[in-house]
Structure 1
Amino acid sequence: MQAAGSKRNTDSKVSSPKKSKVMNGDYDEKAHFEATYDRLAAELIEDMKSYKLPANGIAWVEKMLNHTIPGGKMNRGLTVVSSLRSLKKRNLTEEELLHAEVLGWCIELLQAFFLISDDIMDSSVTRRGAPCWYRVEGVGMIAINDAFIVESAIYRLLKKYFRGQAWYADLLDLFHEVTYQTELGQLMDLITAPEDNVDLNRFSLEKHAYIVEYKTAYYSFYLPVALAMMLHGIPTENDSYKQALRVLLPLGEYFQSQDDYLDCFGSPEVIGKIGTDIEDNKCSWLINHALAKANAAQRKQLDENYGKRSPENVAVVKQVYKELDIEGLYKQYEEDSHAKVMGLIQQIDEAVLPRDMFVTFVKRIYKRSK
């Protein structure tokens, strides 16, 4: 794949807004974003053909991409688009919209890379209402290599669309940095809560906070906004990136705690997966707060039943959660977190960053059911 602005890819060159049609503000943002996936997937397949990948390999990759990438909520990817529109304070041109959507799909590819791997590590069953990719007939551990291909595809797209930009090195650095941060968070998640050695003494709210920040907040919350800021032309050394981070990290903490809550109390039909945090011995928001509130008898029940895979063990843990009103505690936490984040947004200097960019993000996840 060639860089944006090269002779072989003039269609992807960033052009002046005056030379590009301005998108009508009432277009279907999600449908347009999904249509761009079809374009990018086709481009990735064509790119693989240049490596003389045999037909059965092409068919495999095409099936894998379509199974693992589209179909989610796409909040991360769509946030790049909405954030750039907030920064521009106007509708986007066709070219601006395309480049925001390309970056948005690069985040969705990053998400797919993490999820394919995470599902294997967690022995998960379903993802987005369908079997996890490694559980699809004939896939198995080939999914590990597929995850590598998905990650590499990010950099194929970045090279094609943005290599000609002065901030291309910063763009690559941001993706590498956030990927590394997420992997460190995943490491702490795994070694704090190994499935074959359950010890609730390893858990703490401090470890949970680290896992949440590094495993989720950077790539799910900071990355989409930082990409929009970069695309808008804000230099990476500008203090506005720190301002954004001060809001987005607490928002990411709320989101992951919300995810922990939905894993236990959400409906599989709604959230698109069967929650397994209890069986997987996860260092979740719920278990940490249960440990903080439990009496001696309840703590004994948690020690004896958490991290076990039988429905009976899971039921005991959920009963302790009920006795401790962990669901009610979470709902109060949700309100407190919302108030905290909205307060941080009010502290943002409007001359530097538009507050509505962050409000839009909050609205996407506040009290979500899936």
Structure 2
Amino acid sequence: MPLDKAATKQKFVDEFSVLVEELREILVQYKMPQEAIDWYTRSLNYNTPGGKLNRGLSVVDTYCILKGVDLETIPADEYKKVALLGWCIELLQAFFLVSDDMMDASKTRRDQPCWYLVPGVDNIAINDSFMLEGAIYVLLKKHFRQDSYYVDLLDLFHEVTFQTELGQLLDLITSDEEHVDLDKYTLEKHSFIVRFKTAYYSFYLPVALAMFMVGINDDADLDQVRDVLIPLGEYFQVQDDFLDCFGTPEQIGKIGTDIKDNKCSWVVNQALLKATPEQRQLLDTNYGQKSDECEQKCKDLFVSMGIEQIYTEYEEKIVGELKAKIEKIDESRGLKKDVLTSFLGKVYKRSK
């Protein structure tokens, strides 16, 4: 009987303690003082395993689909390597989040204080974020150096990391909380930000890693999945922007802050496209202000402009286009449409 979702996640989580022990042992071999080893261990445990783990689990799910096997039938040593690739993405995510929280002056992450706000951490978190990223390459070398696809893994992680940082750069210089300027916003700029900041590492990276491990490495196949997963990742972020504004805290598990944070979100870009001079004045005055009243004025305006209906039409259009792309996938070299259908199924009509 196949493992259920909770058991699949627990099996994946169980691998993390092994990974931490391996990294600890490497520091021991370097003769690092115990206080430094303990600090790094604490950083790994605080920042890496606390989220939904969707990116890491997607490597495992994709691998199973491509191999045509159930999770519990994968040999233990094989599963450990697949899970390790998943945890490498989670380490990459941890690296991004620790640094991003400092750049955004965020207060909480995953229902706990951001790492840099933990007493005694402060700016040491900058170096800690580098060490979270560094762990990826230490682990890849230890476990994959003898594999023919080792260099492919290195290239992929380096490329996707740089792409994500490009997206972060454009996001930071566009959404300056100190100087609100809605003239900087366009849907084209929003598209670039979300594709580079989110789609590459959250959607393309997990699938490409699993493909390399099963031996599907033809550029044509990588192009096929990229052509679906990058616009799918953009759709996911548009959905996130919409839920940030129109979803409830109970529904999405957090309080939406895009309006107060002056984010170049899909919602405000849609409003800017159709705003009258009076509506634009209202946005210029209230968007990006740290005020509940200003935020509510923006939300009321978005409702009156019919942004919810625009989103519904967008969602149906993009999903139709993605389904058509998936249908045309060439499976002759081992790629399977089910990989992409599975991703779409997780995103379509999600409410949190």
Which of residues 321, 324, 327 in structure 1 aligns to 2:302?
A: 321
How far 1:170 moved relative to its partner?
1.6
Alignment of 1:1-370 (within 5 A): 25-26=2-3, 28-91=7-70, 92-235=74-217, 237-269=218-250, 271-352=252-333, 353-370=335-352
Aligned length: 346
Deviations 1:68-100 (A, max 9, x none): 111212111111111111111123332322111
Cα-to-partner distance string for 1:126-178 (whole Å, 9 max, x where unaligned): 22222222222332222111111101011111111101112211211110000
List runs of 5+ in structure 1 lacking aligned partners: 1-23
The structure, 1 or 2, with the larger RCO (C-alpha pairs under 8 Å, 6+ apart) is: 1
More deviation in 156-165 or 87-96? 87-96
- State the distance in 2 between where 1:261 and 1:62 align: 37
Aligned-pair CA distance for 1:108: 0.8
Take 2:256 and 2:292, find their aligned partners in 1: how far apart are those partners? Answer: 12
Instruction: Return closer, same or farther for 1:258/1:103 CA change in 2, 3 Å cut-off.
Output: same
Counterparts of 1:94 and 1:241, CA distance in 2: 27
Residue deviations 1:208-253, cap 9 Å, x none? 1111111111111111110011001123x43111111111111011
What secondary structure sits across from 2:50 in the alignment?
A: coil
Give 1:136's aligned amino acid: V
> Residues 84 and 229 of structure 1 are in contact (CA less than 8 Å); yes or no, is this contact kept in structure 2?
yes
CA distance in 2: counterparts of 1:113 and 1:164, whole angstroms: 26
Q: Kindly state the Cα deviation for residue 184 of structure 1 after the two structures are TM-superposed.
A: 0.6
| In structure 1, distance between residues paired with 2:35 and 2:148 | 39
Distance 1:123 1:186, change over 3 A: same
Kindly indicate whether the alpha-carbon contact (under 8 Å) linking 1:127 and 1:273 is maintained by their aligned counterparts in 2: no
> Deviation of residue 270 (structure 1)?
5.0
Q: Distance in 1 between matches of 2:47 and 2:158?
A: 21
Q: CA deviation digits over 1:17-36, x for unaligned, max 9?
A: xxxxxxx7437211111111
Whole-angstrom distance in 2 between the partners of 1:332 and 1:72: 31
Amino acid at match of 1:26: L
- Show structure 2 runs of 5+ residues with no match: none
- Checking the alignment, whether the CA contact within 8 Å between 1:128 and 1:273 is kept in structure 2 is no
CA 157–88 in structure 1, closer or farther in 2 if over 3 Å, else same: same
Conserved? CA contact 1:127–1:272, under 8 Å: no
Does structure 2 conserve the Cα–Cα contact (< 8 Å) formed by 1:129 and 1:273? Answer: no
Q: Which moved further from structure 2: 112-121 or 343-352?
A: 343-352
Distance 1:189 1:44 in 2: 33
- Give the deviation of 1:321 after TM superposition: 1.5
Q: Identity percentage over the alignment?
A: 54
**C-alpha separation in 1, matches of 2:298 and 2:120:** 35
Q: Is the Cα–Cα contact under 8 Å of residues 216 and 252 in structure 1 kept in the other structure?
A: yes
TM-score (norm 2): 0.93
Q: How far 1:265 moved relative to its partner?
A: 3.0
SS of the equivalent of 1:239 reads: helix
Aligned Cα root-mean-square deviation (Å): 1.8
Question: Does structure 2 conserve the Cα–Cα contact (< 8 Å) formed by 1:99 and 1:161?
Answer: yes
Structure 2 distance, partners of 1:331, 1:159, is 46
Contact 1:126 1:273 in 2 (8 A): no
C-alpha separation between the residues in 2 aligned to 1:272 and 1:148?
Answer: 29
* Preserved CA contact (<8 Å) 1:122 1:280: no
Q: Rate the CA distance shift 1:336–1:137 in 2: closer, same or farther, 3 A.
A: farther
Task: Return the offset for 1:337.
Answer: 2.3
1:149–1:267 distance in 2 versus 1, CA, 3 Å? farther
Q: Which amino acid aligns with 1:210?
A: F
